[in-house]
Amino acid sequence: MRMQWLNEFGYSMVKITNDEVQNSLQEVINRIKQAIQERKTVEPVTSEALSFEEGLGEVFQGISIHAEVTEIGGEKDLEKGLQNAIDAKDSVGGLVECRVNGLPIGLGEPFFDSVESNIAHIAFAIPAVKGIEFGSGFAAAKMFGSQHNDAIENMEGKTTTNHAGGIVGGITNSNELVFRIAIKPTASTPKQQNSLNWETGKMEDFSIKGRHDLCVALRAPVILEAATAVALADLMLLEQRIPRIWK
């Protein structure tokens, strides 16, 4: 059954052409264009409404969205992480962190349309993304409840720590929204590998030739910023913090 599935679908999947790679990149570019267009067309109706502004690294009115690579190949020293991959003649993955400031309190729903689920939904549409975490993320599994709890220090909801990453019960709590995505190393690597040759049916050594990215995580921050803007716009439209656009 598995070989039948591979014969029908797998062969075309492993024989990736330059055109298919280009189509994948074009899909990402189209998403970025969508984010820019939304920032240009959604108009504010009150002083509390959040408008979009032109420019991918720019912000909603009063809201800043910033993403950056924080780790490459397990190294916080990005240059070292890249050099390790160069020395190994291999590709390498990385972590990208996104921080959003100025979000209104109460954005999101407690069930299907939580802030986490909306962001994760579009984040996993970005090629090479293999994981996502909010706030302390997976480190929370190693903490006590007393350590992870964020003590509220004022009536605006500000907390002394931000292990929750600015989201409680799927809803923004006025603190900084913090999340990270894991980017896998690209499969296109010059390092010699061993796999099945579909034409001979035997395991053989091979090496990918041509020019390929050492670390695709370096390209991810600007894409993640655009994706985050789209996800937040969706939540704001859902709650009518941005009014519907009638044609």
- Per-residue pLDDT reduced to its tens digit, 20-69: 444 555 566 666 666 555 544 433 332 233 334 443 333 367 889 999 99
Cα–Cα distance measured from residue 179 to residue 162, given in angstroms and rounded to the nearest whole number: 11
Handedness of CA 101, 104, 109, 113 (dihedral sign): negative
pLDDT band at 204 (very low <50, low <70, confident <90, very high): very high
Cα–Cα distance measured from residue 26 to residue 78, given in angstroms and rounded to the nearest whole number: 27
Sheet holding 129-134, edge to edge: 64-72, 94-101, 177-183, 129-134
- Per-residue pLDDT reduced to its tens digit, 224-238: 999 999 899 889 888
Place of tokens 């996993």: 124
- The CATH class given to the 2-238 domain equals alpha beta
pTM: 0.78
pLDDT band at 247 (very low <50, low <70, confident <90, very high): low
Look at residue 157 in the predicted model and tell me its pLDDT.
79
Residue type present at position 157? G
Count CB atoms within 10 A of the CB of residue 225: 23
- Per-residue pLDDT reduced to its tens digit, 86-102: 999 999 999 999 999 99
Q: What phi, psi does 65 have (nearest 5°)? A: -125, 120
Q: Could you tell me the two tokens for 30?
A: 């189209």
Look at residue 25 in the predicted model and tell me its pLDDT.
53
